[in-house]
Amino acid sequence: SREWHLVARPHGWPTAEDVALREVPVTEPGEGRILVRNRYFSVDPYMRGRMNDMKSYVPPFQLGQPMEGGAVGEIIASRAEGFAVGDQVLHNLGWREYAEVPAADATKVSAELAPLSAYLGVLGMTGLTAYAGLFEVASFQEGDTVFVSGAGGAVGSQVGQLARIKGAARVIGSAGSAEKVRLLTEEYGFDAAFNYKEGPVAEQLGKAAPDGIDVYFDNVGGDHLEAALNSFNVHGRAAICGMISLYNNTEPAPAPRNLAYVIGKRLRLQGMLVRDHVDLQPQFVRDVAGWLASGELKYRETTVDGIENGFDAFIGLLRGENIGKMIVSLG
């Protein structure tokens, strides 16, 4: 069985020298555990943070050990009650072909309800992030004008569509390619979208939101956050979900130069972690499954085949090569 190990801590952008694809023996499951053949694993931006040796909200990946992350697969051996060979499960030992998992850390999923990969994206962690971030953290209300950055990605494309479904006055998205921008307005029903690489974000947002914004869902940080502060109406709310424009920086980035707007506009900038919102899981699955079935909610996945391409998939994600959720398929 092959698995990806972190072998050095990246400085700036991760390189192929920082990781290694290693062959390890497959072990029988211990008591209370299951052996899973992984079918898909997730690559996510937060994994960049786990490559650093820094105190954070999740412990760093250990050097010389396999990396971790969301995965779905099929049980091929079980010593845990309630988990049978052939059952499909979601768990957190990705980046490897076979995973020996404590059954308590695995959740059964059904390939009949949705394609297995959806449990890593639209019906999984990134979907819940969008749902909880918009509805709970940003206190979205019908009639709000919503701006979301990273809008061609997994979280962002779902945020914009959820806002539209729930009656936003106007939904604006930014993304890094013409293809993504077209997708937002033509398929996902955004009212306006722009390519942040084609001009200053503040200028483009100002044009797309002439009457200002009430909610900003931040996936990017930096000049996107600064632009949102400019465009905010009084009592605006931001869900600070991610700051991907900063993850590979080697020096701290300057704060938004216009932070003082927080005072006069009485803004609320609220950081979030999806793990604080698991109580919303049943409601999230019910709502999102319904909107998928009715066709109101659409999603894309970018699938990279083969474990040997797993690290390239991760770098591709950080570079913006994905449309929708980036997934590694193990066949």
Tell me whether residue 106 or residue 318 sits nearer to ligand NDP (CB atom). 318
* Closest separation in Å from C-beta 264 to ligand NDP: 27
Tell me whether residue 30 or residue 59 sits nearer to ligand NDP (CB atom). 59
Tell me whether residue 98 or residue 311 sits nearer to ligand NDP (CB atom). 311
- Per the rule left: phi > 0, alpha: psi between -120 and 50, beta: everything else, 201 is alpha
Contact 259, 229 (CB under 8 A): yes
Q: Which residues bind ligand NDP (CB under 6 A)?
A: 44-46, 126, 129, 150, 152-156, 175-177, 180, 196, 219-220, 241-242, 244-245, 272-274, 317-318, 320, 322, 326
* Closest separation in Å from C-beta 301 to ligand NDP: 10
* Closest separation in Å from C-beta 222 to ligand NDP: 7
* Closest separation in Å from C-beta 125 to ligand NDP: 6
Tell me whether residue 213 or residue 326 sits nearer to ligand NDP (CB atom). 326
Exposure pattern of 29-47 as b/e (b: 16+ CB <10 Å)? Answer: beeebbbbebbbbbbbbbb
H helices within the chain, ranges in order? 46-50, 125-132, 154-165, 178-186, 201-208, 223-231, 261-264, 281-294, 310-319
Tell me whether residue 88 or residue 174 sits nearer to ligand NDP (CB atom). 174
Gap between the Cα atoms of 302 and 323, Å rounded: 6
* Closest separation in Å from C-beta 115 to ligand NDP: 17
* Closest separation in Å from C-beta 11 to ligand NDP: 18
Packing angle of the helix pair 281-294, 125-132 (nearest 10 deg): 100
Q: Who contacts 165 (Cβ-Cβ below 8 Å, separation ≥6)?
A: 291, 296, 297
Tell me whether residue 105 or residue 223 sits nearer to ligand NDP (CB atom). 223
